[in-house]
Amino acid sequence: MSSVALKVLLVVEDGVDPAPIEEALPAGSRVTKSTLHGGGHAWTGLRAAAAEAELLLLGCSRQDAEALDLIETASRHTEDGLPVVVLYQGSPNGFMQQAFAAGADDLITLPQPPLELSFALEKAIARRRGNGQTRREGALITVVGPKGGTGKTLTACNLGVALAAHTSAPVVVDLDLQFGDVGLALGLKPERTIYDLATSVGSLDGDKIDGFLTKHDSGLHALLAPVRPDQAAAVTTQFLRAVLEGLRSRHEFVIVDTPPAFSPEVIASIDASTHLCVVGMLDALSLKDTKIGLETLSEMGYEPANITLVLNRADTSVGITQSDVERVLGRKPDVLVPSDRAIPRAITEGRAIVAAAPRSGAGRAYLELAEHLAKALAPQTSERAEPAAKARRSVLGIRGR
Ligand SMILES: Nc1ncnc2c1ncn2[C@@H]1O[C@H](COP(=O)(O)OP(=O)(O)OP(=O)(O)O)[C@@H](O)[C@H]1O
Ligand SMILES: [Mg+2]
């Protein structure tokens, strides 16, 4: 299971085996167990444990008032409304409706194969977290562009450095797992990379993830790509989802740089994103690919409002006018980045253009992009920070590993 470790109160009726439920929980979760014996008033004995818990899992098989009472009390009468996921052994029939009416957030039927139970629990937890009204979660911005060399890494790094002036410790994640160059572009040594995190022992939590970030002078933090292409396979989509979730729980802005493909990792990141930054370039081939990319994202359920379109090398004289661009892409680019000789120079020095030449055309464009996103996206509650796409993987037909 990919989620970050949780504090769980697991209550089961007599006859429901808690073992498979426990095994399906995120690694490192702390579980307090209790049994319902019938006879009512279960809540009294559970109040203290519920106050400590982040999630109540109720395993039941009888359609009785005690289970419904517990659901209602836990979900409605605790201070923040403890999320309740019901695991029903057998066919729930009418009980399903009653459980939801009492305040259950989700209902999963038992038995289930371990992996499916794990996945169902993960979804239930993620959904409940998304429904939370007050929990703050950082914005997750995935920088995408279907074509190679359009300026994705440039955009992700400069956005990250520029955002460091608006918020403490934004994070850039290098998801170009085989040939990532965020470290090079920012002059950072890859002492600890995402590969080291993926192959480290023990459970994954926010503290641990932060320990693998490399700090840049600007205040930006970076989770760097593996140093060798063969290490990329250690990063599974499950692991990646947990890392992004962990980072969002502690940082206001998480920016993900991607390779030029809709790989399973990129899909997973898009899937979890609150916002996308699409980077295209002013030439006919790149515009065609950007158009297809935007159409694909639209089919995946992304609203145009959740996509910022960056047109790189926007001043290049290639016989394409701004109105041609708008006609082809069906929208106006939000930010225009000119070609700038200061960029390759800054990259050679391992510096962001917003720091090396903030007054240059490109420097100003990226500062403007950061200001726009800082205003539009922060601070967020989890309600606003819900992943912006709804039906992505099915559209692309790619499944996570
Ligand atoms: N506006 C620009 N002006 C000058 N040079 C630029 C500009 N944009 C990009 N470049 C140059 O193009 C190269 C590719 O940029 P970048 O690495 O950001 O692209 P990318 O989309 O991340 O590529 P990939 O798909 O291979 O990851 C860089 O070396 C950079 O120097
Ligand atoms: Mg790149």
Q: Is there an atom of ligand 1 within 6 Å of 344 CB?
A: yes
> What pLDDT is attached to residue 401?
31
The confidence band for 314, taking pLDDT boundaries of 50, 70 and 90, is confident
The confidence band for 388, taking pLDDT boundaries of 50, 70 and 90, is low
% of the chain surpassing 90 pLDDT: 50
**346-366: average pLDDT:** 95
* Phi, psi torsion values for 65, nearest 5 degrees: -65, -30
> What pLDDT is attached to residue 82?
81
Centroid of ligand 2 to alpha carbon of 230 (angstroms): 18
In this structure, the number of other CB atoms found within 10 A of the CB of residue 261 comes to 14
> What pLDDT is attached to residue 273?
93
> What pLDDT is attached to residue 366?
97
Name which of 390, 191, 231, 199 is nearest 306 in CA terms.
390
Ligand 1 atom at shortest distance from the alpha carbon of 176: 27
Asked whether residue 378 carries a pLDDT value surpassing 60, the answer given is yes
Ligand 1 atom at shortest distance from the alpha carbon of 337: 1
Q: Is there an atom of ligand 1 within 6 Å of 347 CB?
A: yes
- Greater confidence (39 vs 358) lies with 358
> What pLDDT is attached to residue 147?
86
Centroid of ligand 2 to alpha carbon of 268 (angstroms): 18
**333-346: average pLDDT:** 94
The confidence band for 136, taking pLDDT boundaries of 50, 70 and 90, is low
The answer to whether the beta carbons of residues 40 and 65 sit under 8 Å apart is yes
Centroid of ligand 2 to alpha carbon of 2 (angstroms): 26
Reported as half-sphere exposure (CB side, CA atoms, 13 A), residue 298 has a value of 11
Asked whether residue 380 carries a pLDDT value surpassing 70, the answer given is no
| Number of helices (H), then strands (E), in the chain | 17, 13
- Greater confidence (224 vs 169) lies with 224
In this structure, the number of other CB atoms found within 10 A of the CB of residue 20 comes to 17
Residue reference for tokens 């914005």: 139
